Amino acid sequence: MTYEEVIVEARKHLGRLCKACPVCDGRACGNMIPGPGSKGRGELAVRNYKAWQKLCVCMDTICENRPVDMSLDFLGKRFKYPIFAAPIGAVNIHFGDRYDDMQYNDIMVSACAKAGIAAFTGDGVLPAVMDYATQAIAKNGGIGIPTIKPWDIGTIRKKAEFVKRSGSFAVAMDIDAAGLPFLKNSQPPAGSKTVEELRSIINEIGKPMILKGIMTVKGAEKAVEAGASAIVVSNHGGRVLDQCQSTADVLEDIAKAVNGRIAVLVDGGIRSGIDVFKALALGADGVLICRPFAVAAFGAAEAGVDCYINKLAFELEDTMAMCGAHSLSGITRDMVAYTRE
87 counts as binding ligand FMN under rule CB under 6 A: yes
Cα–Cα nearest to 287, from 68, 70, 31, 130: 70
Residue 13 annotated in active site: no
Pairing of strands 263-266, 230-233: parallel
Residue placing its CB nearer to ligand FMN in the complex, 222 or 239: 239
269 counts as binding ligand FMN under rule CB under 6 A: yes
For residues 307 and 6, is the Cβ–Cβ distance under 8 A?
yes
Within 10 angstroms of residue 306's Cβ, the number of other Cβ atoms is 18
CB of 128 to ligand FMN, least distance (A): 15
283 counts as binding ligand FMN under rule CB under 6 A: no
Buried b (16+ CB within 10 A) or exposed e, 58-81: eeeeeeeeeebebebebbeeebeb
42 counts as binding ligand FMN under rule CB under 6 A: no
CB of 296 to ligand FMN, least distance (A): 12
- How far apart CA 301 and CA 107 sit, in angstroms, is 6
For residues 120 and 113, is the Cβ–Cβ distance under 8 A?
no
Half-sphere exposure of 73 (CA within 13 A, CB side): 4
Q: Of 13, 94, 236, 326, which one is the catalytic site residue?
A: 236
CB of 120 to ligand FMN, least distance (A): 7
290 counts as binding ligand FMN under rule CB under 6 A: yes
Figure out which of the listed residues 202, 224, 289, 328 binds ligand FMN, where binding follows CB under 6 A.
Answer: 289
Figure out which of the listed residues 43, 174, 275, 285 binds ligand FMN, where binding follows CB under 6 A.
Answer: 174
Residue placing its CB nearer to ligand FMN in the complex, 140 or 234: 234
268 counts as binding ligand FMN under rule CB under 6 A: yes
CB of 275 to ligand FMN, least distance (A): 10
Give, as ranges, the residues between 17 and 36 that touch ligand FMN (CB under 6 A): 36
Q: Helix or strand or coil: residue 341?
A: coil
Could you tell me how many residues make up the chain?
Answer: 341
- How far apart CA 210 and CA 265 sit, in angstroms, is 9
306 counts as binding ligand FMN under rule CB under 6 A: no
Residue placing its CB nearer to ligand FMN in the complex, 106 or 322: 106
Residue placing its CB nearer to ligand FMN in the complex, 222 or 236: 236
For residues 210 and 234, is the Cβ–Cβ distance under 8 A?
no
Contacts of 236 (CB under 8 A, 6+ apart): 174, 176, 177, 179, 180, 213
| Positions marked active-site | 236
**Interface contacts to ligand FMN, rule CB under 6 A:** 36, 45, 48, 86-89, 94, 122-123, 147, 174, 212, 234, 236-237, 239, 267-270, 289-291
